[in-house]
Amino acid sequence: MNQQLAGAIVLGVAVLLILAGVLAWRARLRRDSGLTAPIGVPEHAEVLARYETLYVATTKHDHSLERLAVRPLVYRARGELAITDRGAVLSLDGSPTVFLATARLVAADRATVTIDRAVEPGGLIRLVWRTDDGTLVDSYLRITGDLGHADAQGAALTDLQRLCAGSETGDSE
């Protein structure tokens, strides 16, 4: 077998792998097309804290390696997590603002790994919440703010846990 034939075979396999990846992603987008996150912040929500963040992924609840394409949280992005008196706000670059009302929030804790990302122990925040259709999902955030990574991560987690505790008392959107 000469070099040109070997190169053509390798190129053909590479093109097939890329095509398979694109088709699989499009199938995932179709499969998850019914999953949406609420958009827009209530008019009188008071911002209590802000954190620079990297949005990593949203997965099935307790299945950190099974990505969901929840619109508009489909792609990894940098942005801001804002804690308000009514819920959590995700303002991500290139996406509409997502508002997770206290009533949607279920839990917040630390995580180390999710699809496409592994970090130091407890380096991610896992936020458990309900989509518009009631599906329970986990969204993963990495706080990147200037308070000092560990301090900002801990403060954001505490704020989110406080919001989740508020959802248990019957607070609503």
Q: Given a cut of 50, is residue 62 above it in pLDDT?
A: yes
Task: Please state, as a whole number, how many other Cβ atoms lie within 10 Å of the Cβ of residue 14.
Answer: 10
Confidence (pLDDT) at 10: 94
Mean pLDDT of 17-42: 87
Per-residue confidence (pLDDT) for residue 171, from 0 to 100: 43
Residue 170 has pLDDT above 80, yes or no: no
Statement to judge: residues 24 and 55 lie in one domain: no
pLDDT at 36 over 80: yes
Which two three-digit tokens encode residue 52?
A: 């620079």
Domain that holds residue 26: 1-31
Mark whether 20 and 87 lie in a shared domain: no
Cα separation, 14 vs 51, whole angstroms:
40
Report the domain count for the chain: 2
Average of per-residue pLDDT across 114-127? 85
Asked if the structure places residue 36 within a domain, the reply is no
Asked whether the predicted pLDDT for residue 172 surpasses 60, the reply is no
Q: How high does pLDDT run on average in the chain?
A: 88
Query: Comparing 58 with 134, which gets the higher pLDDT?
Result: 58
Map residue 44 onto helix, strand or coil. coil
Do both 120 and 91 map to the same domain? yes
3 is a domain residue = yes
20 and 70 both lie in a single domain:
no
Residues 120 and 158 in one domain: yes
Does one domain contain both 82 and 114? yes
- Asked if 41 contacts 99 with a C-beta cutoff of 8 angstroms, the reply is yes
* Cα dihedral 94, 163, 165, 118 sign: positive
Whether residues 96 and 24 fall in one domain: no
Torsion-angle region of residue 93: left (phi > 0), alpha (psi -120 to 50) or beta? beta
Task: With 0.75 as the threshold, say if the pTM is over it.
Answer: yes
**Same domain? 92 vs 137:** yes
- Do the domain assignments include residue 41? no
Rank 99-103, 116-120, 142-146, 153-157 by mean pLDDT and report only the highest.
99-103
Residues 25 and 93 in one domain: no
CATH number assigned to the domain comprising residue 114: 2.30.29.30
Helix/strand/coil (H/E/C) assignment for every residue in 63-87: EEEEECCEECECCCEEEEEEEECCE
Q: What is the pLDDT of residue 168?
A: 62
